Amino acid sequence: MSANRRFLLIRRPNGEPVPEDFRLVEEEVPDPPAGGFVVRNHFCSLDPAQRGWMDDAPSYVPPIELGDPVRATTVGVIHASDNPDFPPGQWVLGMNALEDYSQAVPGGFAMLIDVSGVASPSRFLSAMGAVGLTAYFGLLEVAKAQQGETLLVSGAAGAVGSAVGQIGKIVGCRTVGIAGGPAKCRRLTEDYGYDVAIDYKGKSVGELAAEIAAAAPGGADIVFENVGGDVMDAELLNLAHGARIVLCGLISEYNSPEKIGIRNLWQVLAKEATVHGYLVSRFMDRFAEGGAQMAEWMADGRLRVDEDVQEGLENAYAAFMRLFSGANTGKLILKIA
Ligand code: NAP
């Protein structure tokens, strides 16, 4: 390929992104920057967090500049290099963008990866990448999950949530998962080993709280929160004393110009619970260790990983929106080479 197709953010979305917020352009393949390299991206991660990066709002990373390609974690092969430590032909994982070719300089998030013996290089965007490790470190290091505890997970059929539930079972927790619709709830128990599955769709906070109470009569020792809003309000009504809440994501609010907020915060006080704001990047220097453990559990058949691989940079918008309709069945990935 001689051109570099790039999926640009050209307007900040107002609520739910629309196709007009983006433009696919063709440019020349760039040269390696001084001391850096150019990577031919093969697989791009599509993540809920990208929606937040499109807003001009304070966050843990700067907003994507208008006219820049949408920032994304990718795995690809080094195409050209000005750095002997990153030679052409090597597979590399890094923070790049939705584009065929990205310039990269070591020092940011860029690491060589060994894809031999791995079912697909895309695993470095799912189980063995930041998403799987969000589950791993969030549950084991932030929540410090213990055998016999009750673990309540929202977004439970998703990339993070499905791994949280399975690692919870490995630790010996009783797992209760919340997801949208009967098909996803079936997957919670059949594919991801959840003890109980709860469908949140079409239910009031009170109705959902009652179902959680029936599933976890003693309350949840750990809440792994991916959704926020009404789902979290219902969870807060079901905390065990001293519960730990891992605040991992709030996807129900990402497309909402008016933030939904939480009305049952009093329960955190009443149950002397702790809310842990959590970014997986805190554990970046332990990714190799976590990735190796995840790989071992996959090889042993103790950890099932589903990837929802969509194809083509020209389909980036439609693919991205699967995260918000709930259409994705596993870690959402865009294959572009
Ligand atoms: P995912 O769960 O695979 O996909 C998103 C899922 O969210 C959808 O399939 C849908 O599932 C659910 N959802 C979408 N809109 C919703 C709404 N309005 N209300 C309730 N549920 C909704 O995505 P993921 O990559 O694993 O991310 C899950 C969460 O983890 C996100 O909040 C993300 O921001 C967070 N995260 C945090 C970190 C960190 O470092 N803190 C790292 C990675 C991810 P249903 O069909 O079940 O509704």
Q: What pLDDT, on the 0 to 100 scale, is given for residue 323?
A: 98
User: Probe ligand 1: pick from 59, 227, 235, 260, max atoms within 8 Å of CB?
Assistant: 227
328 CA to centre of ligand 1 in angstroms: 10
Q: Nearest residue CA, atom 48 of ligand 1?
A: 180
Q: What pLDDT, on the 0 to 100 scale, is given for residue 6?
A: 98
Express each pLDDT in 31-66 by its tens digit. Answer: 999 999 999 999 999 999 999 999 999 999 999 999
Nearest partner of 166 among 189, 144, 184, judged by Cα: 189
Q: How far apart are CA 238 and CA 219, in angstroms?
A: 5
Q: Nearest residue CA, atom 32 of ligand 1?
A: 249
Whether pLDDT at 152 is above 90: yes
Residues 6+ apart with CB under 8 A from 78: 37, 38, 39, 40, 86, 87, 88, 89, 90, 91, 92
CATH code of the domain containing 92: 3.90.180.10
Query: What 3-state class would DSSP assign to 83?
Result: coil
Asked whether residue 294 is domain-assigned, the answer is no
Asked whether residue 293 is domain-assigned, the answer is no
33 CA to centre of ligand 1 in angstroms: 35
106, 167: one domain: no
196, 79: one domain: no
Q: Look-up: residue for tokens 């290099």?
A: 81
- Tell whether ligand 1 has an atom less than 6 A from the beta carbon of residue 150: no
User: Probe ligand 1: pick from 166, 223, 224, 251, max atoms within 8 Å of CB?
Assistant: 251
Neighbouring C-beta atoms of residue 147, cutoff 10 Å: 8
Express each pLDDT in 81-123 by its tens digit. Answer: 999 999 999 999 999 999 999 999 987 788 999 999 899 999 9
User: Probe ligand 1: pick from 125, 160, 203, max atoms within 8 Å of CB?
Assistant: 160
323 CA to centre of ligand 1 in angstroms: 7
118, 156: one domain: no
User: Probe ligand 1: pick from 226, 250, 306, max atoms within 8 Å of CB?
Assistant: 226
112, 137: one domain: no
169, 266: one domain: yes
Asked whether residue 199 is domain-assigned, the answer is yes
Nearest partner of 119 among 317, 333, 284, 262, judged by Cα: 333
Express each pLDDT in 260-310 by its tens digit. Answer: 789 999 999 999 999 999 999 999 999 989 999 999 999 999 999 999 999
Q: What pLDDT, on the 0 to 100 scale, is given for residue 1?
A: 55
Asked whether residue 275 is domain-assigned, the answer is yes
Q: How far apart are CA 221 and CA 143, in angstroms?
A: 9
48 CA to centre of ligand 1 in angstroms: 6
Q: What pLDDT, on the 0 to 100 scale, is given for residue 18?
A: 98
Asked whether residue 329 is domain-assigned, the answer is yes
- Select from 266, 281, 296 the last residue of a domain: 281
60, 142: one domain: no
307 CA to centre of ligand 1 in angstroms: 14
88, 138: one domain: no
Give the nearest ligand 1 atom to 308 CA: 3
275, 330: one domain: no
Asked whether residue 288 is domain-assigned, the answer is no
196, 267: one domain: yes
CATH code of the domain containing 177: 3.40.50.720
Quick one: tokens of 276?
A: 């842990």
Q: Nearest residue CA, atom 19 of ligand 1?
A: 252
- Tell whether ligand 1 has an atom less than 6 A from the beta carbon of residue 249: yes
Express each pLDDT in 231-244 by its tens digit. Answer: 999 999 999 999 99
Residue type at 201?
Answer: K
Q: How far apart are CA 326 and CA 47, in angstroms?
A: 13
- The share of the chain scoring above pLDDT 70, in percent, equals 100
Residues 6+ apart with CB under 8 A from 293: 136
162, 269: one domain: yes
313, 258: one domain: no
- Tell whether ligand 1 has an atom less than 6 A from the beta carbon of residue 131: yes
Q: How far apart are CA 18 and CA 15, in angstroms?
A: 9
Q: Which of 6-10, 28-32, 125-129, 150-154 has the lowest mean pLDDT?
A: 125-129
Question: How many structural domains comprise the chain?
Answer: 2
308, 184 contact by CB (below 8 A): no
Express each pLDDT in 187-244 by its tens digit. Answer: 999 999 999 999 999 999 999 999 999 999 999 999 999 999 999 999 999 999 999 9
Residues 6+ apart with CB under 8 A from 154: 161, 178, 200, 223, 224, 225, 226, 227, 231, 232, 235
Q: Nearest residue CA, atom 36 of ligand 1?
A: 249
Radius of gyration, CA atoms only, the chain: 20
Strand partners, 72: 96
Number of residues that this document lists for the chain: 337
Query: What 3-state class would DSSP assign to 246?
Result: strand
- Tell whether ligand 1 has an atom less than 6 A from the beta carbon of residue 48: yes
71, 110: one domain: yes
Domain that holds residue 315: 3-124+305-335
pTM of the complete model: 0.97
Whether pLDDT at 330 is above 90: yes
Asked whether residue 328 is domain-assigned, the answer is yes
